[in-house]
């Protein structure tokens, strides 16, 4: 029960990290995410069907990166508004994704092969999750372990990267672009690179989901950005706004908690159409939490002050 | 430590919100009286749908009423992802962890998610409304526990439907939502049939409903005599927009589902969702009686639904002869009285 929520949370964690980089570090509302998630998924599906499951995960990541590059160019070189750039890329990606899947909306990870009697039969493709299961025994645990390993590795790489020069440049660009421009760092390049990094993570997430559920579907990206934002906001409510390392951890934890809450919501006996309202309320609560804390602090200080005054 | 405290607080608050929402009503359809002699364990059945709309709801409701009428001692849970595909896996995993005897996923992605979640653990899966089970990966070696009912419609039937009402038609206009697997598959097969038989056609696909009106008008401007849309969930939810644009030019809208005719379409040969639901329920009863899904290949519809909407015929100025109406049931009368769902 908790295992499956953890597994789902881990699969969507790179996507939450991508949202975190775009929204928190770069301060850019990037709407490419709904499209790049599916792009990572469709490219991964095609490479998986061709028989290269491990390469497929990297291909999906690269696909997300290309989507980010397009949005970055629209934003910087062509000076198009950030929100609009993302929408344009996302809209264009719909057609691209459709074409990648060979003009269909849904692709199951299988290929037609001739069996010993000479008949063409569909054979399920190998995926990284199946490889893992064949080594460590089947089940949710091996899938969770594999997703967790990927997420941990990616998180460590990210934390280290943001301490390096180019990583610092991206953070600085998000913090104060004017200052960065005046200090001879190429802000456009940093911004584009940041958006590419964010979307490559989103593409990785799409690729992981594709291999775990064994099919690619064009509808999979719907509302992905909202899920990512909810994860980031929940993480932030718990850990506060601190350094990048804490931020990376909080996005991952937020993603897992979001899934646990969602699972809980479907678990209790409430009509499933109520879940949407519930997730809206959860995000609202998470957003209000820091404010209430501040209010309570001021109240405490004020009371202490009043006590002092009446002494 | 501080973070832990926060997590605890946060979870408590959320749980409270969830509980207060859950007071809005349960969702378990329960039958079989709770009497002491009723000791046979209940058969737990979960019906999972990706979103709500007329035909999907009709399938669900038919399955429920058929199973209730069958006298099986069942506990049926209905679940709905409300269009959030990422929730499908969560819902199905919940169902799995609660324990379930038979799963009924409606539509292609739901069935595929069910396959990956249950992963051959022996839980029977009886899908409903998957148009191409082979392409969807539901018929391979690793699908011993999976069977169901496909909602595929033979293309020649579609062309017959149009020539029945318009013997001298010249060109068909196909309209579909490009992200809907079922709809795309129906149209692709129909186009192949038209190519083979030298029938002229135009096609237009939309990515979202905002493009519907423009797509209809562009097809009309290309001089089509008839419009056809298969069982397309998205377009089905916007039939008035579709038919208003078409009927203004006196062009009929043929569609792939009776629910779409009830919402304004002219005529259909299509999936009779009640029939589909009945076939699914019959399969579930067989599974409950001990037949393994491996022994049951997936079924196609035993009979198609043929419906006509006389109010729509009036709007486009068609005079329908008795010969044309043979084999058709009137779903909507001239004055707009609907017999849908009766």
Is B311 near chain A, with CB under 8 Å? no
The winner for highest mean pLDDT among A68-72, A166-170, B73-77, B156-160 is A68-72
Q: Give CA–CA dist B173/B224, Å, rounded.
A: 6
Interface of B with A in 35-74 (CB under 8 A): 52
Q: Name the percent of chain A lying above pLDDT 70.
A: 99
- Chain A CB contacts of B78 under 8 Å are 272
pLDDT for residue A111: 85
Q: What is the pLDDT of residue B38?
A: 52
Q: Is the dihedral of CA B101, B106, B107, B109 positive or negative?
A: negative
Closest chain B CA to residue A217 = B109
pTM above 0.85, yes or no: no
Interface of B with A in 143-202 (CB under 8 A): 178-181, 184-185
Counting other chains too, the contacts that A45-50 makes at CB distance below 8 Å and 24 or more residues apart are A45/A100, A45/A101, A45/A107, A45/A109, A45/A210, A45/A215, A45/A216, A46/A100, A46/A101, A46/A107, A48/A109, A48/A125, A48/A126, A48/A127, A48/A210, A48/A211, A49/A107, A49/A109, A49/A110, A49/A111, A49/A125, A50/A111
Work out the average pLDDT over A11-39: 95
Instruction: Tell me whether residues A110 and B140 touch, CB distance under 8 A.
Output: yes
Please give, rounded to a whole number of angstroms, the shortest distance from the CA of B93 to a CA of chain A: 7
- CB contact under 8 Å between A218 and B134, yes or no, is no
CA distances from B312 to A220, B226, B248, B328 (A): 36, 13, 11, 15
pLDDT of residue B26: 42
Give the residue on B whose Cα is nearest the Cα of A120: B140
Q: Does residue A248 or residue B119 have the better pLDDT? A: A248
Of B13, B24, B113, the CB nearest to A271: B24
Cβ contact (<8 Å) for A274 and B22?
yes
Residue from the list A1, A98, A268 with its beta carbon closest to the beta carbon of B22: A268
Instruction: Round the average pLDDT of chain A to a whole number and report it.
Output: 90
Q: Which residue of B has its CA nearest to A293?
A: B6
Select from B99, B101, B98, B91 the least CA-distant residue to B51.
B91
For B118, nearest residue in chain A (alpha carbons): A139
pLDDT for residue B214: 92
CB contact under 8 A, A277 and B21: yes
**What pLDDT sits at residue B13?**
58
Query: What whole-number distance in Å separates Cα of residue B219 and Cα of residue A303?
Result: 72
Query: Using CA atoms, how far apart are residues A200 and A60, in angstroms rounded to an integer?
Result: 8
- Asked if the model's pLDDT at residue A87 lies above 60, the reply is yes
Scanning A264-293 for CB atoms below 8 A from B yields 264-278, 281-282, 285-286, 289
In tens digits, what is the pLDDT along chain B, a chain of 342 residues? 555 666 666 665 565 555 555 544 444 444 444 444 455 678 999 999 998 888 899 999 999 999 999 989 999 999 998 888 888 999 999 999 889 999 999 999 999 999 999 987 899 999 999 988 988 999 888 899 999 999 888 888 889 899 999 999 999 999 999 888 878 888 998 999 999 999 999 999 998 888 999 999 999 999 999 999 998 888 999 999 999 999 999 999 999 888 899 999 999 987 788 999 999 999 999 999 999 999 999 998 888 889 999 999 999 999 899 999 988 989 999 888 888 876
Kindly tell me if the per-residue pLDDT of A225 is higher than 50: yes
Which of A91, A228, A241, A275 has the most B C-beta neighbours within 10 Å, making it the best mutation to test the interface with B?
A275
Does B119 sit within 8 Å of A8, measured CB to CB? Answer: no
Identify the residue whose tokens are 């002699």.
B37
**The pLDDT value given to residue B276:** 94
B113 touches chain A (CB under 8 A): yes
3-class secondary structure, A242: coil
State residue B16's pLDDT score: 53
**Could you tell me where the beta strands, DSSP code E, fall in B261-316?**
267-271, 305-309
Residues 6+ apart with CB under 8 A from A270: A278, B18, B21, B22, B24, B25, B26, B27
pLDDT at B28: 47
- Residue among B78, B137, B184 minimizing CB distance to A122: B137
Q: How many CB pairs lie under 8 A apart between chains A and B? A: 168
A236 touches chain B (CB under 8 A): no
What's the burial of B69, exposed, middle or buried (CB within 10 Å: 0-12/13-18/19+)?
exposed
A249 touches chain B (CB under 8 A): no
How many whole angstroms separate alpha carbon A256 and alpha carbon A9?
Answer: 4
Residue B33: per-residue pLDDT: 47
Are the beta carbons of B109 and B50 closer than 8 angstroms?
yes
């Amino acid at each position: 029960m908790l295992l499956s929520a953890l597994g789902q949370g881990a699969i969507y964690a790179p996507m939450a990290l991508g949202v975190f980089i775009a929204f928190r570090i770069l301060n850019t509302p990037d709407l490419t995410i709904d499209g790049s998630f599916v792009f990572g998924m469709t490219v991964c599906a095609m490479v998986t069907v061709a028989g290269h499951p491990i390469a497929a995960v990297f291909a999906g990541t690269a696909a997300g990166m290309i989507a980010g590059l397009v949005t970055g160019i629209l934003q910087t070189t062509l000076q198009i508004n950030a929100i609009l750039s993302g929408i344009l890329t996302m809209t264009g990606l719909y057609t691209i994704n459709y074409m990648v899947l060979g003009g269909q909306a849904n692709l199951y990870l299988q290929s037609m092969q001739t069996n010993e009697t000479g008949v063409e039969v569909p054979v399920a493709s190998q995926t990284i999750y199946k490889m893992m299961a064949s080594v460590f025994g089947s089940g949710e645990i091996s899938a969770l372990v594999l997703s967790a390993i990927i997420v941990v590795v990616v998180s460590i790489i990210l934390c280290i990267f943001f301490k390096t020069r180019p990583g610092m440049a991206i953070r600085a660009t998000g913090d104060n672009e004017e200052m960065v421009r005046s200090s001879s760092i190429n802000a456009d390049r940093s911004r584009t690179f940041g958006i590419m990094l964010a979307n490559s993570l989103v593409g990785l997430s799409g690729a992981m989901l594709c291999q775990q559920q064994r099919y690619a579907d064009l509808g999979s990206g719907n509302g992905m950005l909202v899920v990512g934002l909810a994860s980031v906001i929940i993480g932030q409510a718990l850990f506060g706004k601190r350094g990048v390392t804490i931020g990376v951890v909080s996005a991952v934890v937020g993603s897992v908690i979001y899934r646990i809450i969602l699972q809980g919501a479907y678990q209790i006996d409430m009509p499933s159409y109520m879940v949407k309202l519930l997730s809206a309320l959860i995000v609202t609560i998470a957003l209000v939490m820091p404010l209430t804390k501040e209010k309570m602090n001021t109240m405490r200080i004020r009371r202490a002050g009043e006590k002092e005054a009446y002494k | 430590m501080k973070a832990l405290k926060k997590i605890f607080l946060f979870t408590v608050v959320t749980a409270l919100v969830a509980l207060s929402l859950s007071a809005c009503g349960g969702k378990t359809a329960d039958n079989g009286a709770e009497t002491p002699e009723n000791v046979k364990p209940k058969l737990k059945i979960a019906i999972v749908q990706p979103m709500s709309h007329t035909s999907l709801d009709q399938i669900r409701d038919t399955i429920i009423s058929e199973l209730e009428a069958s006298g099986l001692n069942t506990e049926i849970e209905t679940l709905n992802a409300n269009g959030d595909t990422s929730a499908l896996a969560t819902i199905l995993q919940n169902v799995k962890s609660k324990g379930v005897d038979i799963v009924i996923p409606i539509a292609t992605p739901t069935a595929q998610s069910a396959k990956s979640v249950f992963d051959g653990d022996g839980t029977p899966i009886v899908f409903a409304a998957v148009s191409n089970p082979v392409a969807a990966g539901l018929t391979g070696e690793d699908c011993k526990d999976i069977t169901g009912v496909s909602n595929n419609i033979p293309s020649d039937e579609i062309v017959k439907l149009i020539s029945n009402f318009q013997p001298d038609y010249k060109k068909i206009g196909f309209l579909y939502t490009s992200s809907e697997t079922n709809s795309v598959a129906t149209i692709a097969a129909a186009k192949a049939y038209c190519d083979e038989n030298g029938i002229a056609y135009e096609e237009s696909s939309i990515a979202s409903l905002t493009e519907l009106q423009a797509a209809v008008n562009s097809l009309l401007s290309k001089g089509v005599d008839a419009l056809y849309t298969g069982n397309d969930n998205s377009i089905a939810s916007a039939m008035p927009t579709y038919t208003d644009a078409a009927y203004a030019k006196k062009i009929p809208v043929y569609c792939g589902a009776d629910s779409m005719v009830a919402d304004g379409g002219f005529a259909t040969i299509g999936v009779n969702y009640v029939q589909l639901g009945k076939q699914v329920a019959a399969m579930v009863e067989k599974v409950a009686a001990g037949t393994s899904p491996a022994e049951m290949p997936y079924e196609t519809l035993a009979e198609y639904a043929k419906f006509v909407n006389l109010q729509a015929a009036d709007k486009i100025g068609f005079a329908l002869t008795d010969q044309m109406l043979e084999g058709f049931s009137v779903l909507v009368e001239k004055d707009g009285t609907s017999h849908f769902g009766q």
